[in-house]
């Protein structure tokens, strides 16, 4: 039970709303193909500027999940 | 007046709401025991995923406060 | 067309609202003097604590813009 | 022969024994699905504490393997 | 359209020619299995020395691609 | 239940045996004064050399514990 | 003579040719507005991938120049 | 004798004189409450500018001390 | 009043005297063209050696100033 | 007595046994040519994988020794 | 056979041609005094600018070689 | 003339006076065995505390020198 092994994948989510939403979009996208997602770590936060305003929030995260 | 000395402590706050709330929870918790808190620095942002959704935001910060 | 050159400047925005608002304030301030802003990268997130509560969010970002 | 291409994956192994065993568990787990594993790099070492004692060693590594 | 999600994979390419060629080899190898590759980031540059001369250039990069 | 707050302290343990023992010594020492220790993170590994041999292993770790 | 003061600016150059050409494009662009450029430091190397091939090399550098 | 355990605390000292004085102020402040201080490590050097001149030097250090 | 925006510029000062003097030279040089300078952060300390002796101290700092 | 000067050299030791043994091999090798070795710092831990198992532990360390 | 020990030295090569040539110059220079050179790692890339053009490429690398 | 090759060595100097003196002691010590020293880079600043006061300043630097 105790000697689990985990894999981490690096994902960039984007959103026009805010940083939390960019993270949720990334996690949501992965949930369709990855089982047993357990945690995420924010690596990097960026964004796109258009016409002098923030147009998109882009957050890169590592998502850790348990290998069966 | 000018030669103040400060101490920093490293605290992880969590919240099911968002990243700002995790930080506020950390600061609020410390306010009961630490006087003269002056600033914080975000060190690390992570989160817990449950059933394919973000369940908790976890933000580690350093909190600086003036030593009397 | 393809060999554009970009400059990055380092800006700290602050806000009493939240982290996204601190970033928007920084971008908005620069929009009056910088043309062709294209992206930003978050470098550092800090804040000011007053009376045991978060009083200001301070986000340092690099803003990239195309040189004509 | 000389222009090989490699991929790295990021894996966290855990063990109640020691750090080397956590690494071996990670490598062993991957050996069932990844061919041609060639090297690993330790990224991060953590552990779980229970009842005032180290209960698990958790080592995150990158594993490099040759793409056919 | 705007809320794309991207994945990054970490690849090491090698070449006896130069650093750019090692990168091209890595990208070329991935092009057969990854659709929608969008950008790369150089992480690390190394090389193999044989008989007192550079024999191979080895460049590790992260390749970002859009998830459908 | 979910909005716990944690504190991290930075501790250096030493041992003449091995790295795991240096970590255990650090955790054991703290267990007499810190309740609810939950995890540790290895920050730095050093050692003392005497008469051309490793005399002590010194491991600096951060220990995280829940604040009541 | 000895107590010179220098300023550094951060510039991203791009090129479809190679990394050196991206750097030369950045330096060349700045030469029209900055006098007394003295050195550069490479910060980051990226690139754009199109149709499975490297389309552009993007190198971010800091350029140091003497203030009169 | 050999298996000592040490704790590190993070302190910011300030001074209008110079960097060494800021460090001495930090160490001196701690000497009233911490026994067995053994070493310090400089983490960060900053300063306050007022009327176009350096008004204060601020040095953040970690101070290591032996736990009894 | 509270939502100020700051810019940081990166400057290298040099001095044949000591590190503090190199920093003062950098700040003094900027004071003729930058208003509202508020703080500096030391990024890097180097020096020039001539005839086996330290000939110049070179300190690179970021200077933060408030945008009007 | 107090103004000693030290040099650090960077050494990679390897072992088929464990990480501590790789470090001991590195220190032992240097002991034949370096006098007054005083401490080591672990920089990097890697390993070689063969037939799906860890074949060698490779630890890079800096070894500090006093110059006469 | 398996428990080799390696040393790394840090070398800066320069060239007026390109980055690869700066690396080759560094390796070539060392080949006259170092036997058994095995690999290099690029640490840092800089250059000298003269009359608004790149005059020299300067690449700092670590070169690893086997100790007999 | 232009394609010089340099080597860097890592040295720790100490002094009971101040940080500049620790650096000068390191450079002075090396001047008896190294020709053509050209620059230094500060890597790390530490110190020894005795009886609640700073007893020694310890500065680790890399010293670069031209290979003939």
- The tokens for E38 are 């969008």
* Residue H35 in this model has a pLDDT that exceeds 90: yes
Query: What pLDDT shows up at residue B48?
Result: 98
How many C-alpha atoms does J20 have within 13 Å on its Cβ side?
A: 19
Mean pLDDT, range E8-13, rounded to an integer: 98
Asked if H19's CB is within 8 angstroms of L53's CB, the reply is no
In this prediction, residues H23-50 reach a mean pLDDT of: 98
Instruction: State mean pLDDT over L14-25.
Output: 98
Which residues, 6+ apart, have CB-to-CB distance to K14 below 8 Å? K22, K25, K48, K56, K57, K58, K59, L2, L3, L4, L5
Residue F2: band (very low, low, confident or very high) from pLDDT cuts 50, 70, 90: low
Q: Answer yes or no: is pLDDT of H48 > 60.
A: yes
CA distance linking residue G39 with residue G61, whole number of Å: 10
Interface of E with D in 28-47 (CB under 8 A): 29-30
pLDDT above 90 covers what percent of chain L?
A: 94
In a domain, A41, yes or no: yes
* pLDDT tens-place string over residues C51-62: 999 999 999 999
On whether any CB of chain H is under 8 Å from the CB of L57, the answer is: yes
Number of structural domains chain K divides into: 1
In a domain, D44, yes or no: yes
Instruction: Provide the pLDDT confidence category of residue D3 given band limits of 50, 70 and 90.
Output: confident
E8 interfaces chain A, CB cutoff of 8 Å: yes
Mean pLDDT in residue range K39-52 = 98
ipTM given for this complex: 0.96
Alpha carbon distance I27, I12 (integer Å):
10
Chains in contact with G via at least 3 Cβ–Cβ pairs below 8 Å: C, E, I, K
In this prediction, residue E2 has a pLDDT band, given cuts at 50, 70 and 90, of low
Residue K54 pLDDT > 80: yes
Given phi > 0 = left and psi -120 to 50 = alpha, else beta, which region is G67? beta
| DSSP label at residue A17 | S
> What is the pLDDT, as a whole number, of residue I1?
42
Chain B hits for H46, Cβ within 8 Å: none
Dihedrals phi, psi of D64, to nearest 5 degrees: -100, 135
Instruction: Tell me the pLDDT tens digit for each residue of G6-25.
Output: 999 999 999 999 999 999 99
For E20, the closest chain K residue by CA position comes to K20
Whether residue I34 is predicted with pLDDT greater than 70 in this model: the reply is yes
Domain assignment present for A1: no
pLDDT tier at H2 (50, 70, 90 boundaries)? Answer: low
Distances (CA, A) of H10 to B63, D46, F20, H42: 10, 21, 25, 10
The minimal CB distance from F6 to the residues B12, B55, B56 is found for B12
Q: Which residues of E touch G45 (CB under 8 A)?
A: 41-42
Two tokens, residue F43: 């920050």
> Rounded to a whole number, what is the largest CA-CA distance in chain E?
54
Confidence check: pLDDT of C68 > 60: yes
- Is pLDDT above 80 for A52? yes
Query: What is the nearest CA distance from F37 to chain B, expressed in angstroms?
Result: 13
B22/B3: higher pLDDT? B22
* pLDDT given for residue K2 in this prediction: 61
DSSP symbol at A4:
-
For the stretch F11-52, pLDDT in tens is: 999 999 999 999 999 999 999 999 999 999 999 999 999 999
> Would you state the torsion angle of the CA atoms of residues G33, G39, G41, G46, taken in this order, to the nearest 10 degrees?
50
Residues of H in Cβ contact (< 8 Å) with I27:
49, 52-54
Tokens of A11: 């994902």
- Mean pLDDT, chain H, rounded, equals 96
d(CA F45, CA H41): 15
Regarding chains E and B, contact by 3 or more CB pairs under 8 A is answered as no
Confidence of residue H3 (pLDDT cuts 50, 70, 90): confident
* Least confidently predicted of A9-13, E50-54, H2-6, L15-19: H2-6
In this predicted structure, the answer to whether residue B27 has a pLDDT above a threshold of 70 is yes
CB contact under 8 A, L3 and K11: no
> Radius of gyration (Cα) for chain A, nearest Å?
14
Helix (H, G, I), strand (E, B) or coil at E8: strand
Contact yes or no, B with A (3+ CB pairs under 8 Å): yes
pLDDT at D1: 42
Mean pLDDT across chain A: 96
- Candidates E27, E31, E39; nearest CB to G46: E39
Residue L54 lies in a domain: yes
Mean pLDDT of the region C17-42: 97
The answer to whether A16 contacts E2, with C-beta atoms less than 8 Å apart, is yes
Q: What is the pLDDT of residue A1?
A: 42
In this model, does residue I2 exceed pLDDT 70? Answer: no
CATH code for position K52 = 3.30.1660.10
Q: Chains that contact L by 3+ CB pairs under 8 Å?
A: H, I, J, K
Predicted structure pTM score: 0.96
pLDDT at G1: 42
- Assess if residue B34 is contained within a domain: yes
E54 close contact with G: CB closer than 8 A:
no
F partners (3+ CB pairs within 8 A) are: B, D, H, J
Return d(Cα A17, Cα L49) in angstroms, integer. Answer: 51
Whole-number Cα distances in Å, J25 to F55, H4, J30, K6, K36:
14, 25, 9, 11, 19
Q: Taking 80 as the threshold, does the pLDDT of residue H67 lie above it?
A: yes
Tokens, residue C58:
């301070």
Q: Is A32 helix (H, G, I), strand (E, B) or coil?
A: coil
* DSSP letter for each residue of K7-59: EEEEEEEEESS-HHHHHHHHHHHHHTT-SSEEEEEEEEEEEEEETTEEEEEEE
Helices and strands, number each (H, E), in chain B: 1, 3
Q: Coil, strand or helix: which one is C53?
A: strand
Tell whether the model's pLDDT for residue E36 goes beyond 70.
yes
CA distance to partner chain D, nearest, from residue J1 (Å): 38
**Which candidate in E7, E9, E12, E55 is best for mutational testing of the D interface (most D CBs within 10 A)?**
E12
Of I2, I7, I10, Cβ closest to residue C14: I2
The pLDDT value recorded for residue K68 is 86
- Subunit contact I29:G5, Cβ cutoff 8 A: yes
Q: State the pLDDT at residue B1.
A: 42
Q: Show residues of chain A in contact with E2, CB under 8 Å.
A: 14, 16, 55-56
Do the domain assignments include residue F20? yes
pLDDT for B3 equals 82
Give CA–CA dist J43/J61, Å, rounded.
5
CA distance F13 to F15: 7
pLDDT at L23 over 60: yes
Cβ atoms of L44 and L59 closer than 8 Å:
yes
State which residues form the domain around K31.
Answer: 6-66
pLDDT band at G68 (very low <50, low <70, confident <90, very high): confident
* pLDDT value for G2: 62
The number of residues making up chain I comes to 68
Nearest C-alpha in K relative to G18: K18
Is the backbone of residue D52 left (phi > 0), alpha (psi -120 to 50) or beta? left
What are F51-68's pLDDT values in tens digits? 999 999 999 999 999 998
pLDDT tens, residue by residue, L42-54: 999 999 999 999 9
Across the interface, whether the CB atoms of J14 and K7 are under 8 A apart is answered no
Span D15-26, average pLDDT: 98
**CB L24, CB L10: distance < 8 Å:** no
Reduced 3-state DSSP string for E21-66: HHHHHHHHHHHCCCCCEEEEEEEEEEEEEECCEEEEEEEEEEEEEE
I4 to chain G, minimum CA–CA distance in Å? 23
**pLDDT at residue C1 greater than cutoff 50:** no
Dihedral pair phi/psi, residue I23, rounded to 5°: -65, -45
Say if D16 is an interface residue toward chain F (CB within 8 Å): no
Closest-CA residue in chain F for H10?
F10
Which tens digit of pLDDT belongs to each residue from D37-67? 999 999 999 999 999 999 999 999 999 999 9
The reply to whether B1 falls in a domain is no
Beta bridge partners of C40: A47, C63
Q: Does some domain include residue F22?
A: yes
Q: Provide the CB-side half-sphere exposure for K18 (13 A, CA).
A: 11
Q: Report how far residue A9's alpha carbon sits from residue E60's, in angstroms, rounded to the nearest whole number.
A: 17
- What is the per-residue pLDDT across J20-66, written as a single tens digit (0 to 9) for each? 999 999 999 999 999 999 999 999 999 999 999 999 999 999 999 99
Cβ atoms of K43 and K64 closer than 8 Å: no
Distance from CA of I46 to the nearest CA of C (A): 23
CA distance A58 to chain C (A): 9
């Amino acid at each position: 039970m105790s000697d689990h092994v985990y894999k981490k994948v690096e994902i960039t989510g984007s959103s026009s709303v805010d940083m939390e939403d960019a993270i949720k979009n990334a996690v949501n996208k992965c949930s369709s193909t990855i089982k047993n997602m357990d945690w995420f770590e924010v690596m990097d936060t960026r964004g796109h500027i258009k016409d002098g305003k923030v147009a998109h929030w882009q957050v890169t995260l590592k998502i850790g999940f348990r290998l069966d």
